[in-house]
Structure 1
Amino acid sequence: MSHRDTNYSYRSVSPPTSPQISPPSSPFLSKSNDESSPQKPEQRLSANAKRQKYLRRLFKFRQMDFEYAFWQMIYLFVSPQKVYRNFQYRKNTKDQWARDDPAFLVILSFWLIISSLGFFIVLGLRWHEFIKFIIWMVFVDCIGVGLIIATILWFLTNRYMVIAPPRGQDVEWGYAFDVHLNAYFPLVMILHLFQLPFLNTVIIGDGFLSRFCGNSLWLIAIAYYIYITFLGYSALPFLKNTRTMLFPVTAVLVIYLLSLVLGWNFSGGLSYFYKYRVFVEP
């Protein structure tokens, strides 16, 4: 066979090349596009399987990305919008909005223990009261209340705010809980760690200055909690009327002004409440 015949035979058996199609540039892919593109098996997990995977990783510290969690905590103060842009990236790569890494919750629990140690010193608690205080702070104030708030907002957003989404697009419960954790971290830093050194010296007192300083911190902390919560749900492209989540700020401002006039000291009340619920008869 001649050299010319050999080349012709090779060309005749070569499969025709198909044009390469690049994925759409939009970060929000429809479900049909997701199904047609190759994905990892973990992207096909059900909600229950994702929850179980998250809980299993809760005690595997070597698998957690603590550096990334610290980055998120810093940017929740500096630029919280960047934090939620990374949630959008997770949706593209892992087909879920919620975190699959419990590192943020672990570090938040660590900060709660540190703040509990501060209250242990400032409030003059005993050691067995300190242990009880930590349990209340982590499992009731943070996780327990967070479960309630996340469930309520998850139900309301899916029921009243979804804009005829593509199939399978809804607010994940895990994402609603992550939004609570994001908003709760600055609140804890303001009301606990930042306020703590001035609690007995400046904030707890009967004067107007004490009331003004303490209640102003409460106003900032709660308003920031509401704002970060609003950012979390407004980052979802299939929700409407998310600005309504900012309405409670008005009520918080009214209560703040009333507290200054009527002599309510929220920080003093919080301290008495903390002492009361961990108090154990000798």
Structure 2
Amino acid sequence: WQQMDVEYTFWQMLNLCTSPKVVLETKNQWARDDPAFIVICSLLLVVATLAYCATYDHSGSHAVVVVVSVFLTHFLITGAVIATCCWFLTNSYLREETPNSHVVEQRVEWQHVHDLPFMYRLYTFDVHCNSFFPMFVLLYVVHYFLSPLLIAHGFIPLLLSNLLFMVGASYYHYLNFLGYDVLPFLERTTFFLYPIGIVIVLSPILILSGFNPSRYFMNIYFSQRL
């Protein structure tokens, strides 16, 4: 706990939502020296999930299952899978080829190596954490306050729910792109923007098909059907 800079962490969280490049420019890296960001983000996710449980669930034991499930699947497991995929992709296909064979090879690493630049502890997972927080604000916090409207029947709730999820998912992938675009030994990092195009194309299809993501996810996690 003594290593945590809570004030700086909240500053980072605010700027990730408003001016993400400012966070990138401060230390010329996104990997952090302390675990405060992950700890606070995890606590906020748990609190937000408990708020949903208090509103939409009537079983204490089931609420515990929901909190653990959301924390593990939405944040840790999904983050680890995405980070691993990005790690493999960047090291296998996006690294800049150098003609000088004597230049020390740089990679996007999970480990921390002190004598080489841009080799950070859990760097790829850290990029996921940066990308996750603004999406958390939109799809957990804002969504919670709008949920009575979003889970209602009708075209307006359907439209608003899809738009909210589209913005949240798109912003996640945009921040993911920024996290790798800063690395000077990577090229073609615009690849990380491609999922945004997929999200934008899928959104009107889901709207026309009558799919409401808010109702879908709420029905998955809570015992009462909406």
Whether TM-score is above 0.5 comes out as: yes
C-alpha RMSD of the superposition: 1.7
Report how far residue 125 of structure 1 moved: 3.7
C-alpha deviations, 1:55-113, integer Å up to 9, x for none? xxxxxx1221111111110000111011122342x5xxxxxx63231110000011101
Identity %: 36
AA paired with 2:208? V
Partner of residue 107, structure 2: 170
Is the contact made by 1:226 and 1:246 (CA closer than 8 Å) also made in structure 2? yes
Q: Please, which of 151, 159, 168 is the counterpart of residue 212 of structure 1? A: 159
| SS of 2:185 mapped into structure 1 | coil
Equivalent residue, structure 2, for 1:188 = 136
Q: What one-letter code is carried by the residue in structure 2 that aligns with 1:185?
A: F
Which of 127, 142, 153 matches 1:179?
127
Picking from 138, 141, 159, the partner of 2:92 is 159
- Aligned to 1:106, which of 39, 47, 50? 39
Q: Does 1:203 align with 2:150?
A: yes
Alignment-mate amino acid for residue 247 of structure 1 = Y
Partner of 2:119: none
Distance 1:196 1:119 in 2: 7
- Decide whether the 8 Å contact of 2:57 with 2:222 is kept in 1: no
**TM-score, length-normalised on structure 1?**
0.71
| Amino acid corresponding to residue 188 of structure 1 in structure 2 | F
8 Å contact from structure 2 (residues 86, 124) kept in 1: yes
Larger Rg: 1
Query: Following TM superposition, by how much is the alpha carbon of 1:135 offset from its aligned partner in structure 2, in angstroms?
Result: 1.1
Point out where structure 1 has 5 or more consecutive residues left out of the alignment.
1-60, 91-96, 277-282
1:80 corresponds to = 20
Partner of residue 236 from structure 1, selected from 183, 190, 194: 183
Larger RCO: 1 or 2 (CA < 8 Å, sep 6+): 2
Residue of structure 1 in register with 2:118 after alignment: none
**Equivalences for residues 1-282 of structure 1 within 5 A:** 61-88=1-28, 98-164=31-97, 166-173=103-110, 174-200=122-148, 202-275=149-222
Tell me which amino acid in the other structure corresponds to 1:241.
Answer: R
Tell me the distance in 1 between the aligned counterparts of 2:25 and 2:221.
37
Contact 2:180 2:189 (C-alpha < 8 Å) held by counterparts:
yes
The gaps in structure 2 that reach 5 residues or longer are 111-121
